Amino acid sequence: MRSFYGVTLDNPLMLGTALYPSPAIMADAFATSKAAVATVSLRREGSVDQAGQDFWNIIRDLSVHILPNTAGCHSVKEAVTTAHMAREIFNTNWIKLEVIGHTDTLQPDVFGLVEAARILSQDGFQVFPYTTEDLVVAEKLLHAGCEVLMPWGAPIGSGQGLNNILGLRSMRAHFADVPLVIDAGIGLPSHATAAMELGFDAVLLNTAVAKAGDPVEMARAMALALAAGQAGANADPMEPRDMAAPSTPVIGKAFLE
């Protein structure tokens, strides 16, 4: 496993904490999948709310790495302010940076993203930017101080999988030494396997598990899928061919006359 800001994860699954039928089911999903990272967003109604405090206590009891995010932020100022609040509450420099630019697709505002990443990196944050597969934007994020890139597979919550295989493959090849995480769009275990087979280092997902009919079983399936994809990538798989190639050699085969 590749390290993320010096932290090596035991499991490439990063799991969100929203949308579950209950906190108990969420906790069971984490226990079953052994996800290494929990992503959390700040409750907008304030940290003094008792329900909010109970939720944070449950998150802390998961005994995983906490990755606060700036979900729902549409400006640099809002994202930076939210990040500082998250650091104070969760006592971590990790931050999943979201600066949303399009309401319907939840596509990142890549211009604001780069600016916010630079500000937060200078403030000592270790930024995990939710971005696109654009190589130019990725370069700018790295220059801004990011050491991890998190391109989307598809729009958040869409479950479409990996919409731009070519772009993601190019990103993996271009940034061979950078930890890459597929963030958003995963809907099926097969999507998660495909991401790992492309050589990505982790997958971050939420809706596919939380909104499944059986979130705990889906969490288990996702963990198995990631492990299978990672093992397949490590096995140096064969390249696809344009033509058929017999698996049984012709040489030495008996011929009847």
Catalytic residue numbers, as ranges? 96
Measure the CA–CA gap between 133 and 125, rounded to whole angstroms: 22
Q: 175 near 138, Cβ under 8 Å?
A: yes
Q: Tell me: is residue 207 an annotated ligand-binding position.
A: yes
Extended beta strands in 118-184, E state: 126-131, 150-151, 181-183
Q: What are phi and psi of 204, to 5 degrees?
A: -110, 125
Counting beta carbons within 10 angstroms of the beta carbon of residue 162, is it exposed (0 to 12), middle (13 to 18) or buried (19 or more)?
buried
Is 245 known to sit in a ligand binding site? no
Rg, C-alpha atoms of the chain? 20
HSE-CB for 235 with a 13 A CA cutoff: 11
112 assigned ligand-binding residue: no
In the three-class reduction of DSSP (H, G, I as helix; E, B as strand; rest coil), residue 246 is classed as: coil
Nearest to 5 by CA among 154, 162, 125, 170: 125
CB atoms within 10 A of CB 53: 12
> Pairing state of beta strands 7-8 and 13-16?
unpaired
- Tokens describing residue 229: 């994809």
**Is 153 flagged in the annotation as binding?**
no
Distance, CA of 150 to CA of 138 (rounded, Å)? 9
Residue 213 assigned to a binding site: no
Percent helix / strand / coil, the chain, rounded to 5: 40, 15, 45
Question: Rounded to the nearest 10 degrees, what angle do helices 50-60 and 23-33 cross at?
Answer: 10
Annotated binding site for 1-deoxy-D-xylulose 5-phosphate: 157, 184-185, 206-207
Annotated binding site: 157, 184-185, 206-207
